[in-house]
């Protein structure tokens, strides 16, 4: 299967499995000759930022006395950026996470953090594959 | 304080601490022929107005470090900047009340869509400049961007 076909199939699968929603289509529509790498730049930024936030959440929840307002602030950031790139599954998990912060449930937050981590890294892996395929379609060798 | 910007590109200020959201909104504004400036929190936005900078439209996120969006809106209005159009933006629907009470003109929920920004600029800026913002043509994709562009579903009509 050609790289272009693999890319199309991957993106279709990400929509079909609920990883992405129509906001990702907004990003695709924003890409144009003046910004040919717009989608890859936004996706890369989301992945970097998401990893940072998940690290911060783990630190906050590891404290003996958890500052749930601070945890909520980080979750809010991840929820916002997930919504902006169309990362549906991550966004929905963040919504649950916010509710648990309101309830000040440390156990609930820890369990949900694990779910966020799993969903985020699943999405990040697919985004990385997407970007590799995109490079091949554009005639560049894949990154190592 | 904000003067009318007649006949030139609308001047937008983006006040947003989330980098992804900032990049997306800045790109939308660029596509809509706006000159856009970005700051990371409400305090930096207020500082620009204190310095005498003028904008036609300001987009503010609600929850930011140092100073929130609604707080910045209240301060900007208190400085006498009554003509500048202020748009509150948030994923938190409860933010609408906070922004409107502070003096914002309109609230837009996140995620922000290009057609929403375009329609807003057209309505808000038409009176200031006499010209509608440049319309976005989603049909003209070169080979350079065909990969991602080809993956999209059938085009949604952008209502301007």
CATH code (residue B75): 3.40.50.2300
> For position B59, what pLDDT does the model report?
97
pLDDT band at A69 (very low <50, low <70, confident <90, very high): very high
Say if B112 falls within a structural domain.
yes
d(C-alpha A125, C-alpha A123), whole Å: 5
Phi, psi of A8 (to 5 degrees): -60, -40
Residue B64 near residue B151 (C-beta atoms within 8 A):
no
Domains in chain A: ranges and CATH: 3-137 (1.20.120.160)
* Cβ separation A81–B18 shorter than 8 A: yes
Angle between helices A68-85 and A106-137 (to 10 degrees): 30
The CA distance from B152 to the nearest CA of chain A, in Å, is 6
For chain B, what is the domain count?
A: 1
d(C-alpha A40, C-alpha B20), whole Å: 12
Number of residues in chain B: 160
End-to-end CA distance of chain A: 21
**Least CB–CB distance from B23: residue in A23, A41, A80:** A41
pLDDT over 80 at A16, yes or no: yes
The reply to whether A132 touches chain B by the CB within 8 Å rule is no
Say if B145 falls within a structural domain.
no
pLDDT band at B128 (very low <50, low <70, confident <90, very high): low
d(C-alpha A8, C-alpha A13), whole Å: 9
Say if B41 falls within a structural domain.
yes
pLDDT over 70 at B98, yes or no: yes
**Domain coverage including residue B31:** 11-127
Residue of A15, A36, A95, A123 for testing the chain B interface, max B β-carbons within 10 Å: A36
Q: Please, what sign has the CA dihedral across residues B21, B26, B27, B33? A: positive
Say if B82 falls within a structural domain.
yes
pLDDT, one tens digit per residue, over A29-55 is 999 888 999 999 999 999 999 999 999
Residue A5 near residue A139 (C-beta atoms within 8 A):
no
From chain A, pick out residues whose CB is under 8 angstroms from the CB of B149.
28, 31
d(C-alpha B90, C-alpha A131), whole Å: 29
The CA distance from A64 to the nearest CA of chain B, in Å, is 25
pLDDT over 80 at B42, yes or no: yes
> For position B92, what pLDDT does the model report?
80
pLDDT over 60 at B138, yes or no: no
d(C-alpha B131, C-alpha B7), whole Å: 7
d(C-alpha B35, C-alpha B32), whole Å: 9
Average pLDDT score, chain A: 94
Q: What residues of chain A, 92 to 131, have a C-beta less than 8 Å from chain B?
A: none
Residue B117 near residue B86 (C-beta atoms within 8 A):
no
Say if B156 falls within a structural domain.
no
């Amino acid at each position: 299967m050609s790289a272009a076909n693999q890319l199309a199939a991957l993106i279709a699968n990400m929509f079909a499995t609920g990883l992405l929603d129509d906001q990702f289509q907004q990003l695709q529509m924003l890409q144009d000759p003046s910004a040919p790498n717009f989608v890859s730049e936004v996706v890369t930024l989301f992945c970097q930022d998401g990893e940072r936030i998940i690290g911060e959440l783990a630190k906050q929840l590891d404290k003996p006395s958890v500052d749930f307002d601070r945890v909520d602030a980080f979750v809010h950031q991840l929820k916002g950026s997930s919504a902006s790139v169309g990362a549906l599954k991550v966004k929905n998990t963040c919504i649950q996470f916010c509710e648990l912060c309101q309830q000040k449930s440390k156990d609930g937050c820890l369990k949900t953090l694990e779910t966020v981590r799993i969903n985020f890294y699943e999405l990040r892996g697919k985004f990385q594959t997407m970007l590799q395929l995109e490079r091949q379609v554009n005639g560049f060798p894949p990154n190592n | 304080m904000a003067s009318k910007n007649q006949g030139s590109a609308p001047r937008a200020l983006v006040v947003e601490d989330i980098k992804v959201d900032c990049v997306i909104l800045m790109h939308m504004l660029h596509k809509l022929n706006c000159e856009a400036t970005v700051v990371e929190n409400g305090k930096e936005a207020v500082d620009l107005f204190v310095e005498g900078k003028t904008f036609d439209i300001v987009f503010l996120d609600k929850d930011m470090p140092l100073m929130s969006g609604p707080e910045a809106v209240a301060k900007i209005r208190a400085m006498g900047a009554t003509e500048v159009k202020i748009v509150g933006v948030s994923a938190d629907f409860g933010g609408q009340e906070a922004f409107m009470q502070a003096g914002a003109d309109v609230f837009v929920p996140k995620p922000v869509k290009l057609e929403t920004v375009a329609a807003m600029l057209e309505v808000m800026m038409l009176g200031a400049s006499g010209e509608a913002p440049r319309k976005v043509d989603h049909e003209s994709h070169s080979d350079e961007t065909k990969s991602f562009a080809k993956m999209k579903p059938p085009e949604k009509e952008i209502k301007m």
